[in-house]
């Protein structure tokens, strides 16, 4: 099966993707990562991308599409891809359908991890890191132990308010930009909304059940 996972920054998309990849032996196609790899390898496509990036321009849909095709055309990845960070717009979504069809494949499932902005703010504002041992805590979800030599409040560091503003802006931008794409997949009956407010293992179990159901169906 091929699937796409959507979720605003801070929704836990990375964690869930990692679980799915491991359990179902899928291949995670993160476009950002692949673009960087092509640049590093100085492939013909990589050189083209470098020149665009060096000019301060955005990598075009056409280039991204070439990159995607170079992966979905490989037999070893056939029907085993989890798309992360792609498609980013409706044009890319429609193009992805065409590309997959060319290689006798399709999208079987689209997941959207839904989290509201308040939760994301709590996750960020409650977060602290121990400057001694590097452990990460959260005032709301995973408070630091009251009695500890190392992780006491004087050693806990928090990020500034600016991080919160940036996070709120990124959240809103993400939600606005993905709305038309999600509608597109909703109309194709591929979209499953996952409540991302719950504990990580509960979310994972729900996703696993959905995938198991679809795998059985395929
Ligand atoms: Zn510590």
Distance of CA 122 from the midpoint of ligand 1 (Å): 21
pLDDT above 90 covers a percentage of the chain that reads: 53
Distance of CA 150 from the midpoint of ligand 1 (Å): 4
In order, the DSSP letters of 142-205 are: BPPPSS-SSSSGGGEEE--HHHHHHHHHHHHHHHHHHHHHHHHHHHTT-EEEEETTS-HHHHHH
Residue 188 pLDDT more than 90?
yes
Comparison of pLDDT for 163 and 23, the residue scoring more:
23
Residue 88 pLDDT more than 70?
yes
Q: 109-130, pLDDT tens digit by residue?
A: 999 999 999 988 888 888 899 9
Distance of CA 125 from the midpoint of ligand 1 (Å): 19
């Amino acid at each position: 099966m091929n699937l796409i996972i959507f979720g605003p920054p801070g929704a836990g998309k990375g964690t869930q993707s990692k679980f799915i990849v491991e359990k179902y032996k899928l291949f995670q196609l993160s476009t950002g990562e692949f673009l960087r790899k092509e640049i590093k390898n100085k492939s013909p496509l990589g050189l083209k991308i470098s020149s665009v990036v060096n000019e301060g321009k955005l990598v075009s849909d056409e280039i991204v599409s070439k990159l995607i095709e170079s992966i979905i055309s490989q037999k070893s990845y056939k029907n085993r891809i989890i798309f992360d960070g792609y498609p980013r717009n409706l044009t890319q979504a429609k193009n992805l359908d065409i590309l997959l069809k060319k290689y006798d494949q399709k999208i079987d499932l689209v997941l959207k991890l839904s989290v509201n902005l308040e939760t994301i703010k709590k996750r960020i504002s409650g977060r602290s890191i121990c400057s001694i041992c590097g452990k990460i805590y959260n005032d709301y979800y995973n408070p630091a132990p009251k009695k500890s030599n190392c992780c006491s409040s004087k050693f806990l560091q928090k990020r500034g308010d600016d991080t919160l503003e940036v996070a709120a802006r990124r959240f809103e931008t993400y939600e606005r930009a993905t709305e038309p794409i999600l509608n597109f997949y909703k109309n194709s009956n591929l979209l499953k909304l996952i409540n991302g407010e719950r504990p990580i293992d509960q979310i994972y179990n729900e996703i696993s059940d959905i995938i198991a159901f679809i795998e059985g169906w395929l």
